[in-house]
Amino acid sequence: MKRFKVFLDVEKEEQWLNEQLEKGYRCTNISGLGIYTFEKTEKKYVMRLDYQADLSKRRLEEYKGIYEDFGWSYVKGFALNGIRYWQKEDDGQNEIFSDRESTVHYYRRLMKYSLWLGMLFLAYSFMIYNDSRLYHEGLWNMEGSLFWKALVFETPFALIKLLPAIMVVAFSLSFYKSYQKYVVLKGQ
């Protein structure tokens, strides 16, 4: 079974993947384009996501080895975005972060991830909106049904132009959510 889904929030993605596991579908592959491949299984599994960017080949092998020693299987990882997908049979010890300090570091990494992507989309937004309007300039001079047809035709293009700004807001919210969890854990 294949599913297409796009996530901006790593925790929501993890939650969705675990919901699929509860339905009896184990994730076998994830493409960079948001296509998830599942297979039916009778066993109970759990899936966890981690964010680890800028790992050299040697550090990546060490990182994998540590998790594999605890029974986790490496499903997929993307060098570009740093998200690592881990899965194992449900044995009651299903957390990849064993203590508060490692969880604090995880949320700090998620904050950096959200900040980096938010800044990237912000810079892209400035490039797009620098000397541009959402709608074609002549649209507002049209009248009657021609105006409405042109407005309906151009609205999807205007929404596409707004997408980078929407992404800035989404990653800002993701940063804030991670920051809140980071502060709570750091203060304990």
pLDDT: is 33 or 74 the higher one? 74
Residue 126 belongs to some domain of the structure: yes
What pLDDT is stored for residue 119 in this prediction? 92
Q: Do 73 and 142 share a structural domain?
A: no
Q: Are residues 145 and 123 in the same domain?
A: yes
Residue 132 confidence class, pLDDT cut points 50, 70, 90: low
Q: What is the pLDDT of residue 162?
A: 85
Instruction: For residues 143-152, give the mean pLDDT.
Output: 90
Confidence of residue 53 (pLDDT cuts 50, 70, 90): confident
Q: Give the residue numbers spanning the domain of 77.
A: 2-89
Has residue 95 been placed in a domain?
Answer: no
Q: Are residues 108 and 83 part of one domain?
A: no
What Cα–Cα distance (Å) separates residue 11 from each residue in 18, 66, 107, 152?
11, 22, 11, 36
Q: Are residues 44 and 106 in the same domain?
A: no
- Residue 181 is which amino acid? K
Residue 136's Cβ-count burial label (10 Å; 0-12, 13-18, 19+) is: middle
Report residue 95's pLDDT band, with 50, 70 and 90 as the boundaries.
confident
Residue 29's pLDDT is 87
Do 14 and 84 belong to one domain? yes
Same domain, 149 and 182: yes
Give the model's pLDDT for residue 50: 87
Percent of the chain with pLDDT over 90: 20
Q: Are 65 and 26 contained in the same domain?
A: yes
Q: Are 59 and 106 in contact (CB under 8 A)?
A: no
Of 121, 115, 119, 113, give the one whose Cα is nearest residue 166.
121
Contact 178, 10 (CB under 8 A): no
Counting the structural domains of the chain, the total is: 2
Sheet with 35-40, side-by-side order of all strands = 2-4, 35-40, 25-30
Whether 164 maps to a domain, the answer reads: yes
| Contact assessment for residue 114 and residue 171, using Cβ atoms and an 8 Å cutoff | yes
Are 104 and 181 contained in the same domain?
yes
State whether 83 and 111 are in the same domain: no
Same domain, 110 and 183: yes
